[in-house]
A = this chain, B = another copy of it.
Amino acid sequence: MSTDHASLANCIRALAIDAVEAARSGHPGAPMGMADAVTVLARNHLKFDATAPEWADRDRLVLSNGHASMLLYALLHLVGVGNVTLETLRNFRQIGSPAAGHPEFGHLPGVETTTGPLGQGFAAAVGMALAERMLRARFGESMVDHHTYVLLGDGCLQEGIGQEALSLAGHLGLGKLIVLYDDNGITIDGDTRVSFSEDVPARFASCGWHVAECDGHDPEALDAAITAARANTDQPSMVAMKTTIGFGAPTKAGTAAAHGAPLGSDEAAAAKQALGWEAEPFTIPDALAAAWQAIGARGAGARAAWQTRIDSAPAEQRREFQRCMAGELPAAFTQAVQAARDALLAAPQTVATRKASQMALDALADSLPELVGGSADLTGSNLTRVPAVEPLFTRESPGRYIGYGVREFAMAAAMNGMGNHGGIIPYGGTFLVFSDYARNAIRLAALMRLGTIFVMTHDSIGLGEDGPTHQPVEHLAALRAIPGLNVYRPADAMETLECWELAIRHRHAPSLLALSRQATPQLRQGENGMNLCERGAYILRRYGSGDDLTLLATGTEVALAVEAADTLNAEHGLGVRVISMPCWEHFEAQPADYRSAVLGDAPRLAVEAAGKFGWTRYVETEDDVIGMTGFGASGPGPALYEHFGITAAAIAERARTRLGL
């Protein structure tokens, strides 16, 4: 049996057809259309060793058009990645199968990131290429030197995030990023011309990319284009491949019918016949299987050579590289946290929590060379830059701070990609209200269990004059609703430091820090040496018995609650406890007895300069929340707090009413 290019590519096509038929759902067209490109890539270019699919210096291959998941699963099976068995493919899209409808990071080795929500794989790949560039600069080419390949379709380029990603990559000159664009002319609603009439290569070129076009079914042309892309190390490269969706299917090829539904048994059989494929379903002839296994072993030599280089590197450099890639924190980090705590206790700070965040970063970043910062063009507002990460990442020099531009979504997704890559702890800033723009990438960070850190400042009406478009109201609730995301809203400088410590320690869950524009006093000036935020909520102050009233608050409103409690105790002799709740998620994870001991049995009021939605988890009704009932307004921040009745006096008054005083 021939093991020529076409036969190898047909292995992918046949498996994609079979798995989609078996699942009775899925997307056969894109795998069939891109089989040639992936075959050329795997055979001639991709640096990959199927026996060690998580080898640190492998090339990354990202399937941004994640609905074509069978392309990736078929490839991983064929090259011999251990647990991607035929049984796995037979269970495509079934509960419990790692071969999910879209590629899910962590389910199978070789799935470099979760894709499906279009454009995000591309942006994550930009993050991988950024990570590679930074790690290469830090550890040298002998340890880090690989490409990032992206497969994507029209959808990824119609989504705005696709433009953000390509613009950023072009700007930063990510020469080891190579995009293979599946230009098949078909979209779910039909011919792409229904909604898409761009000159895509010209668009990429306008953003500083090297561009090539070729026939996506001609292996020589594909090879030449990829070779040229690799040769250009100054610019990212895009190869526009003219392909036929559902290549081989006699009646459905080149039509939307091949996109998102099984071919059906007749068309599937006819397609195999047209392709000259005679094997039974889920069967790869031995010669072809062997040829693919050989492709899977192509990178073994490169990996062995890399391992030799690693082994012969200076011990300290090797250990540091391995530490970073494993996501382990250095001992110096713990010491830096303690020193920062000591400093805050020695000299308490009345500062905005965004400023406290900068102070925390300043105290910690030196101990964490893997920490990489950035902002979506709000550096001076987010206060995300400190001397340790001062050098800006430029095309000439890959510093530790990335100017993402006004591209919140790509920033978030690229940070996820850095987490997928490993070796980097990324954080990036914008205003809390613009978490909306990045929202689905925050979700994907949670779904992938990545330790991405989102720094979201200007977290309430305290933002002031910029007005309701810039004032988050519903955002804390909307973010708390995302499973697996830790939402921190620290009350003062000490809590901000503690939340930063937790965000950095959580390498398998994303963190979002909601930080204030306006100053707030340091409430924690005593010290028990523990990170109190770790339990999510705790009794910050107890007046008298603490058993007449419980005040719950987060962020800058904790200081207001303390002031109100002080008044209520002084004027009425009330026993009041003030609970600071910097992280609901951590609190919910505590044992029931801790939670009930903190909350107590007294009537409760909650204070948060945000919408009340969700607070009924802790108080009886939303009437017991001092918060917002609608959007904010334009005006000075302190005036807005007065205007919306979120003051210590208003809290005290509400408490009097609640208790019938």
Question: Closest residue to A164 on the B side, CB-wise?
Answer: B160
Question: Closest residue to A168 on the B side, CB-wise?
Answer: B195
**Interfacial residues of chain A within 599-644, with CB under 8 A of chain B in the complex:** 611, 613-614, 616-617, 621-622, 628-631, 633-636, 639-640, 643
Using an 8 Å CB-CB cutoff, how does the interface string of A199-214 with B read, 1 for contact, 0 for none? 1101101111000000
The answer for the CA separation of A464 and B464 in the assembled complex, in Å, is: 44
Contact (A160, B163) CB under 8 Å given A94-B635, A481-B474: yes
Contact B194 A403 (CB under 8 A): yes
Of A163, A616, A635, chain B has the most CB atoms within 10 Å of the CB of: A163
What B residues does A470 contact at CB under 8 A?
101-102, 116-117
Name the segment of A2-10, A276-284, A293-301, A434-442 touching the other chain.
A434-442
Using an 8 Å CB-CB cutoff, how does the interface string of A155-180 with B read, 1 for contact, 0 for none? 10011111110011011000000000
Cross-chain contact of A203 among B100, B104, B207, B444 (Cβ < 8 A): B207
A85 close to B (CB within 8 Å): no
The answer for the CA separation of A578 and B454 in the assembled complex, in Å, is: 42
Contact A633 B206 (CB under 8 A): no
Contact A95 B631 (CB under 8 A): no
**Interfacial residues of chain A within 538-558, with CB under 8 A of chain B in the complex:** none
A381 close to B (CB within 8 Å): yes
Contact B208 A198 (CB under 8 A): yes
Cross-chain contact of A616 among B379, B483, B617 (Cβ < 8 A): B617
Question: Closest residue to A629 on the B side, CB-wise?
Answer: B483
A188 close to B (CB within 8 Å): yes
Cross-chain contact of A392 among B25, B194, B614, B621 (Cβ < 8 A): B194
What B residues does A198 contact at CB under 8 A?
167, 170-171, 206-208
What B residues does A465 contact at CB under 8 A?
23, 25-26, 93, 101
- CB of A473 to closest CB in B, whole Å: 6
Contact B403 A437 (CB under 8 A): no
What B residues does A481 contact at CB under 8 A?
474, 477-478, 481, 611, 613-614
- CB of A615 to closest CB in B, whole Å: 9
A39 close to B (CB within 8 Å): no
A216 close to B (CB within 8 Å): no
- CB of A299 to closest CB in B, whole Å: 29
Contact A95 B622 (CB under 8 A): no
**Interfacial residues of chain A within 556-608, with CB under 8 A of chain B in the complex:** none
Contact A195 B403 (CB under 8 A): yes
The answer for the CA separation of A474 and B613 in the assembled complex, in Å, is: 13
- CB of A28 to closest CB in B, whole Å: 13
- CB of A384 to closest CB in B, whole Å: 10
Contact B160 A630 (CB under 8 A): no
**What 8 A-B pairs have minimum CB-CB distances, sorted nearest first?**
A160-B160, A195-B405, A95-B635, A163-B163, A116-B469, A100-B634, A202-B206, A478-B478
